[in-house]
Amino acid sequence: MQALFCMDMLKNESGELMEQLSEMLKLAPDIQRFYMTLIKGVLENKSRIDQLIEKFSSNWKINRMGCVDRNILRIAAYELLYCPDIPPKVSINEAVDIGKLYGTEESGAFINGILDGIYQYQAAETKKIENSG
């Protein structure tokens, strides 16, 4: 979240900044791989992720959301959509906890509501695909 927050605030999504932030965080090799997967995955799929966040955010535009909430939502939405090995409840609960810790008083409920909507939507889409095949 720190890296995406920084990239968002600086309006710089370069690989160079991603590497600099990684070095600054001094991550263990296994965590480094997961970090890079998450950051690259969010950035590569940001348009779709942001569309879904806006769809379930009760008329909040992504650029009007707090930077902390926005990037917590992006990471968790990426996990919900593209990381089938991470249980959805884990992604949602971690995002809510991080939101409560670093966001505003309302962040936890705000994040939970949006991610629950994305999760329900994704589950319905998956069910449609399974039933049509």
Q: Where are the domains of the chain?
A: 2-132
pLDDT higher than 70, residue 133: no
Please list, in sequence order, all residues whose beta carbon lies within 8 angstroms of the beta carbon of residue 13, skipping any fewer than 6 positions away.
7, 43
Residue 36's pLDDT is what? 92
E strand or H helix that includes residue 95: helix 88-102
Residue 67: strand, helix, or coil:
helix
Question: What's the average model confidence in pLDDT over 96-124?
Answer: 96
Backbone angles phi, psi at 27, to 5 degrees: -85, 145
Residue 119's pLDDT is what? 97
Residue 126's pLDDT is what? 82
Name the fold adopted by 2-132. N-utilizing Substance Protein B Homolog; Chain A (1.10.940)
| Residue 100 to residue 83: CA distance in whole angstroms | 23
Give the residue from 21, 52, 31 showing the smallest Cα distance to 114: 52
| Residue 69 to residue 98: CA distance in whole angstroms | 9
Between residues 76 and 3, the one the model is more confident about: 76
Q: What are 27-67's pLDDT values in tens digits?
A: 888 898 999 999 999 999 999 999 999 999 988 899 999 99
What residue has token string 């889409």?
A: 125
pLDDT higher than 90, residue 19: no
Distances (CA, A) of 59 to 9, 12, 56, 63, 80: 22, 26, 8, 12, 21
pLDDT higher than 90, residue 128: no
Give the residue from 13, 64, 22, 63 showing the smallest Cα distance to 41: 13
Residue 127's pLDDT is what? 86
Q: What percentage of residues in the chain have a pLDDT greater than 90?
A: 76
